[in-house]
């Protein structure tokens, strides 16, 4: 357990565009801009208005900036609507749920000043559709349905030169500016609240850490001080509404005897800090979805928020699976790009929906 290269601070600027058709309770068009995986810009077709998601970003932008962004994204909204219809024709599809995605961004190391020109990709229904090769300035179409688009875009050398300049010059310049705006917030260190959760008596125990910053963190299960890999399922790091992060790791303890529980613990480690947060596997500390609320390890009674997390997560995951929408893998010569672990907009919005649901239920619980 540890961080390789954690001393270097790599910043990122990423934009995600998602156009959808027939997805219930989800805007047809959504745009999110993220600095260091913290959402700073949001636009959707329900409000048709671009706006800031962080106070430090809002303080450094004016009304004219947001009006300009709104105008540009209104145009993109219409383009994405047309793109879905074009893709459906290419794949010989009619109705049903369909998703068009576009994501691009860059990275910058503020210690070495090295710029990673980043990534520029389009996807359809959870699969790669076409991507821009920033070395050859040509487009790569992994599917036959994208070849027509590749030939058309390869000929547009003016636009390709623009994207080359954007990724190597403009994007890093904007990224440096945004980091200077929010440095105190982006580089803050916040420790998480760590809880043990379980949906049913036979379910795995989930070690859930939320509210930490930055997102360079590790969460593992150990037995007798040794990290476990078998019977362990790690979740990805997700962004909370407040700009902090959360993650979880599940442990299948079906074969663990009650006498051996004390040999297990969950360990959270945050980059830059030497001390770990260790949570012992303790029945009295587990928040459950059955019976009476359990007692927290600090002696207080747990509220309903923790007990329903598992149910909400399962519902959201079932929705994703039911719709057949998955984020596509970012490939470079068949391999994922290192350091660009980016959630899709759909997953981000479903995660935010989960948070909103938890908050509403917590408020109702306190009113009882």
Has residue 48 been placed in a domain? yes
| Residues 56, 16 share a domain | yes
> Which tens digits make up the pLDDT trace of 68-79?
999 999 999 999
Query: Is the per-residue pLDDT at 99 higher than 50?
Result: yes
Tokens 């012992």, residue located: 280
Residues 111 and 186: their CA atoms lie apart, in Å, by 15
> How many CB atoms are located within 10 Å of the residue 344 CB?
21
Q: Which of 8-17, 125-134, 158-167, 338-347 has the lowest mean pLDDT?
A: 338-347
| Residues 72, 27 share a domain | yes
204 Cβ contact list (under 8 Å, min separation 6): 198, 233, 250, 251, 252, 253
Half-sphere CA count of 236, side-chain side, radius 13 A: 12
Has residue 144 been placed in a domain? yes
| Residues 204, 127 share a domain | no
Counting every residue written for the chain, the total comes to 368
DSSP class per residue in 278-320 = EEE--GGGEEESSSSPPBPTTSSBP-HHHHHHHHHHHHHHHHH
> Which tens digits make up the pLDDT trace of 273-321?
888 999 999 988 999 866 544 333 334 444 434 434 443 443 443 333 3
Has residue 362 been placed in a domain? no
Has residue 289 been placed in a domain? yes
Query: Is the per-residue pLDDT at 105 higher than 90?
Result: yes
Has residue 363 been placed in a domain? no
Tokens found for residue 254 = 């079906």
Region 97-106 average pLDDT: 93
Q: What is the mean pLDDT of the chain?
A: 81
Which burial class, exposed, middle or buried, applies to 147 when counting CB atoms under 10 A from its CB (0-12, 13-18, 19+)? middle
Has residue 358 been placed in a domain? no
pLDDT band with cut points at 50, 70 and 90 for residue 240: confident
Q: Which of 241, 268, 302 is the last residue of a domain?
A: 302
CA distances to 71, 87, 322 from 208, rounded to whole Å, are: 40, 39, 25
Q: Which pLDDT value is given to residue 2? A: 58
Most confident of 3-17, 78-92, 275-289: 78-92
Q: Which pLDDT value is given to residue 310? A: 41
Residues 48 and 5: their CA atoms lie apart, in Å, by 41
Q: For a pLDDT cut of 90, what percent of the chain falls above it?
A: 60
**CB–CB of 188/138 below 8 Å?**
no
Has residue 211 been placed in a domain? yes
> Which has the closest alpha carbon to 11: 210, 250, 173, 195?
173
User: What residues pair up with 142 in beta bridges, in sequence order?
Assistant: none
Q: Which of 167, 187, 207 is the last residue of a domain?
A: 187
Q: Which pLDDT value is given to residue 367? A: 55
Query: Is the per-residue pLDDT at 246 higher than 50?
Result: yes
pLDDT band with cut points at 50, 70 and 90 for residue 119: very high
Query: Is the per-residue pLDDT at 337 higher than 60?
Result: no
User: What residues pair up with 207 in beta bridges, in sequence order?
Assistant: 196, 249
| Residues 103, 43 share a domain | yes
| Residues 166, 290 share a domain | no
Q: For a pLDDT cut of 70, what percent of the chain falls above it?
A: 76
Phi, psi of 116 (to 5 degrees): -100, 115
> Which has the closest alpha carbon to 20: 355, 331, 352, 350?
350
Tokens found for residue 347 = 């997953």
Tally of structural domains, the chain: 2
> Which has the closest alpha carbon to 106: 54, 52, 177, 47?
177
> Which tens digits make up the pLDDT trace of 184-229?
999 899 999 999 999 888 899 999 999 999 888 999 999 999 999 9
> Which has the closest alpha carbon to 102: 120, 122, 83, 118?
122
| Residues 274, 182 share a domain | no
Query: Is the per-residue pLDDT at 29 higher than 80?
Result: yes
| Residues 162, 16 share a domain | yes
Q: Which of 280, 302, 324 is the last residue of a domain?
A: 302
- Find out whether the peptide bond into 214 is cis, omega within 30 degrees of 0: yes
Q: Which of 183-187, 269-273, 330-334 has the lowest mean pLDDT?
A: 330-334
Region 259-281 average pLDDT: 92
* The CA-based dihedral angle spanning residues 194, 200, 203, 205, taken in that order and rounded to the nearest 10 degrees: 20
User: What residues pair up with 30 in beta bridges, in sequence order?
Assistant: 18, 44
Question: Is the model more confident about 311 or about 85?
Answer: 85
| Residues 179, 49 share a domain | yes
What is the helix (H) or strand (E) element at residue 199, kind and residue range?
Answer: none
| Residues 145, 23 share a domain | yes
Provide the domain limits for residue 271: 193-302
Region 50-56 average pLDDT: 95
Q: Which pLDDT value is given to residue 211? A: 94
CATH of the domain at 219: 2.60.40.10
């Amino acid at each position: 357990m540890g961080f390789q290269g954690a001393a270097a601070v790599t910043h990122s600027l990423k934009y995600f565009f998602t156009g959808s058709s027939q997805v219930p309770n989800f805007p047809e068009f959504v745009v999110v801009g993220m600095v260091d995986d913290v959402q700073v810009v949001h636009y959707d077709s329900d409000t048709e208005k671009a706006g800031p998601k962080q106070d430090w970003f809002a303080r450094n932008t004016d009304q004219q900036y947001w009006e300009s962004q709104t105008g540009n994204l209104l145009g993109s909204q219409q383009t994405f609507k047309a793109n879905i219809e074009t893709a459906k024709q290419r794949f010989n599809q009619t109705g049903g749920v369909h998703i068009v995605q576009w994501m691009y961004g860059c990275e910058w190391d503020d210690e070495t000043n090295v710029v990673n020109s980043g990534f520029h990709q389009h996807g359809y229904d959870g699969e790669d559709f076409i991507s821009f090769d920033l070395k050859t300035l040509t487009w790569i179409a992994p599917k036959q349905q994208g070849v027509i688009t590749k030939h058309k875009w390869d000929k547009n050398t003016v636009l390709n030169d623009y994207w080359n300049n954007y990724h190597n010059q403009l994007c890093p310049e904007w990224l440096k500016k945004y980091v200077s705006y929010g440095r105190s917030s982006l580089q803050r260190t916040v420790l998480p609240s760590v809880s043990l959760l379980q949906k049913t008596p036979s379910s795995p125990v989930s070690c859930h850490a939320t509210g930490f910053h930055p997102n360079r963190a590790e969460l593992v299960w150990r037995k007798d001080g040794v990290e476990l890999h078998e019977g362990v399922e790690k979740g990805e790091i997700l962004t909370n509404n407040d700009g902090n992060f959360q993650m979880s790791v599940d442990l299948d303890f079906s074969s663990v005897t009650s006498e051996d529980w004390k040999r297990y613990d969950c360990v959270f480690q945050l980059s830059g800090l030497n001390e770990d947060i260790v949570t012992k596997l303790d029945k009295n500390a587990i928040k459950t979805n059955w019976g009476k609320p359990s007692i927290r390890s600090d002696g207080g009674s747990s509220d309903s928020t923790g007990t329903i997390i598992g149910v909400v997560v399962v519902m959201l995951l079932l929705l994703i699976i039911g719709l057949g929408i998955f984020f596509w893998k970012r490939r470079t010569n068949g391999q994922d790009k290192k350091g660009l672990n980016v959630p899709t907009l759909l997953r981000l919005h479903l995660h935010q929906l989960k948070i909103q649901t938890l908050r509403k239920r917590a408020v109702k619980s306190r009113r009882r």
